[in-house]
Structures are given as structure tokens and as C-alpha cells.
Amino acid sequence: MSNGAQIRRTLVAGLGVSALAVVAGCGSDGSAQSDGGDVVLEFSQWWEPELPDGYFRGLMDQFEEENPGITVELLSGPYASTKEQVVAGAAAGTMSDVVGLDGAWVNDFAGQGSIADLSAVMEEVGYDTSNLASEVQVDGSTYMIPVVNFVYPMFTNDDLLAAAGVDGPPQTRGEFADAAEKISALDESTHGWVLPLSLEAPNGVQNDVMSWVWASGGSMLSDGQPALTGNPDVADGAQFVKDLWDAGVVAPGAFTMKEQDKVEEFTNGRVGMMIDSLAHVNTLRDSNPDLSFSVSALPAEDGYTGERGIPYASWGIGIAENSEHKAEAFKLIEFLMSEGPNADLSEAAHAFPGNTESVPDFVEGDEVFSAAFEIYQDGYPANEFVGLPVAEQLMRDLGEEFQKALDGQQTVDEALAAAQEKWEAKF
């Protein structure tokens, strides 16, 4: 099995490829040349609308000042419309020079040949990757670099823990199970943990189930292939969740619950602990100013002393294979990943940097963000669904079988075996 040190920086080596539907379209080859001979890079992403007004354009202006002869044209829109644009451009060969990427798209695009092999580009320009927190790979080559990361630590309700006689956030699975039982015993409307397992939005499998495996350095893959069976790390992690379910410490309604429902349960003080995105810190504070909460690393298996994986989502970046200006495009990536700009972008996005040397200012003046940044630095970003073929469907397949195990229709081992068979058909 892969341990934390082995998968610290190479997040995924997905081998399977699923075909993208061919989308008819027209457009340029994704790059342009100005009348003066300068290179114009098109950069499609969903980041600009989610950042303070004018911020991202200003960052591009800084890049242009430092790189005379290169101009950046931003193609910005909401996530959903950006995805549609990128998928259409991939199929038609008209993708922008530089593209914002979600890790779930990478395997398909790499297999289609629509995004460039960044390993080859970085080798050609002599780029030092030692300060990159992570790289997303397919078949051993990097196709996406996470620019900033939105991590998912453990949130605990300080008042509920105190009322239950629990001294601080749990650090191990045993401590977590004990805390969950004590919180659930406070009254009938309070539960220790919340677990969203909606099959409509199945990311709870990623963030709330498989995260227990990653927190103890485990992996659900072996040589890039599914390894749900014959894998004690996965079996133990899944059985731990089943044991919590059987103990009655999980909030009701899990099978239809989505991430936003989980946040609402925690915000209203009905659950003591949840695994959630750090992006929701301000939402929690705004929704319930009286809520006292802390963040901590996900509890690890009792006795585990290695690095802990922490779930995350990223703003990733890549280069189109159809781009005629790959060297210039990589200059933009190199700029965004450099220490100063990467820290600045992380600050604006309230996310953690993709450069291990960057430290955004917001983590120094806020106790919760500071604690989360320490967790991030001490562990490693862990999300093995990133880069896999049809990643969301893989989550749904496992979620469907795991629901049956929780419902008593099959054992955990039987659920993992059934999910393994479904996964293998998709790789």
C-alpha cells in the first residue's frame, strides 16, 4: 500500500480513460498573435468571478509587466459554463492556451490528448518542481498542477464537546468514537457525527468515507488500479464508519444528505463533529455568530504516527495541447506558482498555496485558519479520486454499495467487492 510519504506530491496515477462525447464547435486554436508580434495567451477559468473584483486582472497585469511581449486574455465564467467551454474546446481542438482544471476532468482530457504533458514541458524548460505541494498525474506524467487548495479538516463544536466531557478534538479513531458516543448521549436531537451519502451528489464518499483511509496514510489504489479488496487500510476505514453507524452516533438522513445539509446540521448545533471544507469557516461564523468551533487533523488509526492525508479540492492549471505557445503558457504557470504571487492568490481565495514556501497572510491573524494551515503543512493533500476516469461515478458506485452495508443488506467486505467489480469495468 502507498503511504503518506509516497503519495505526498503525486496525487493520482490514473490509468483508465473514458471517452468524452464529441462536441461540435468552431473557434480559434486557443492562442493568438497580436499585430505587433507579441504572444497573446488565452486563459479560461472560473476563478476570476470567485475572487474580489479586479483582483485577478491585476495579477495578470503584474505578470505582463514582468514578461514583456506576453499578453493574457482572461476567459472567465462560472464553474459550470467554464466546464462546458473547456469540454467543447477539448473535443474541437480549440482549447485556450492555459486552462483552469478540475482534477475530475484530467484523466479524460489526457487520454483524449487535449491537454499537454507538463512533465515534458517542465523538463524542457528546466523547471524545479521541489516547491510544488502536489502534481496530478496520469500514467506517470503530470497534466495538472494545483495552484491553490481548499482543504477539508475535522470541525468540532467546542461547546458540545465540553458538555459531553470531552477534552479537546479527538486525535485517533478510538477517541473519535468515544467522543461521538458521549455527544450523542447528551439528548435525542444531538449526534456525534454527520455523514452525507447522497447518491445524487456522491462526494461524501470522497470527503467523509475514504478520508478516514487517507488520514492514516492508506490508499484505495495499487499501481493506479482499484484496490478496494484485499486492502486492510480500506477495509478498516470502511468498517470504522460502519461501526459508528451501528453505534447510533451518525445524524439521521445520511442516505439523502448532501454537503450543504451537513453544514446546516453543524451550524445549528445538532452535531458535534464533521469533515468539511475550510471555505465554510466564514459561512459558519456568519450563520451562527455564537457557534464556538475548532478545526483539527482527521483522526488517524490508533497507533499511527506517519503523515496524515487531508482531503482537498483545487483550482488546477494546465496547458492545451493545441496551443502554439506552450513555453509562454508555462511562464504564466511558473508565475502563478512562484512564492509571492501564489501566497497572494491564496490570500485572496482564502485557500492554501500550491507552493510549499508560500504563506498567505490570512493564516497568521485567525486562530482557525492558522490551525488549519499547520495541519496542511504537517500532512499532505489527499484525494485519490482526482485524475481518475469518471470520478464522480466511481464515488456513486461505492456509495451505493456502502449504503447497502450500512443498511444491513450486505457486509462491508461484500460492499467493497461489489464496488471493486464496478470500478474495474471503468478503468
What residue spans define the domains of the chain?
A: 10-150+311-381, 154-308+390-424
Residue 284 CB neighbours (<10 A): 17
89-146 residue pLDDT tens: 999 999 999 999 988 889 889 999 999 999 999 999 999 999 998 899 988 999 999 9
For the record, the C-alpha cell of 325 comes out as 505557445
Please count the helices (runs of H) and the strands (runs of E) in the chain: 16, 17
154-308+390-424: same fold as 10-150+311-381?
yes
362-371 residue pLDDT tens: 777 788 988 9
For the record, the C-alpha cell of 229 comes out as 479488496
Is it the case that residue 4 has pLDDT exceeding 50?
A: no
Amino acid at 53: D
Is it the case that residue 425 has pLDDT exceeding 50?
A: yes
CATH number of 154-308+390-424: 3.40.190.10
pTM: 0.75
- C-alpha closest to that of 179 among 308, 259, 294: 294
d(CA 135, CA 145): 5
d(CA 160, CA 191): 10
Q: What is the mean pLDDT of residues 378-392?
A: 87
Average pLDDT taken over every residue of the chain: 89
CATH of 10-150+311-381, one of 3.40.50.150, 1.10.3720.10, 2.40.128.260, 3.40.190.10: 3.40.190.10
- C-alpha closest to that of 185 among 248, 275, 254: 248
Higher pLDDT, 194 or 6: 194
* CB contact at 8 A, 144 and 315: no
* CB contact at 8 A, 315 and 100: yes
d(CA 298, CA 418): 27
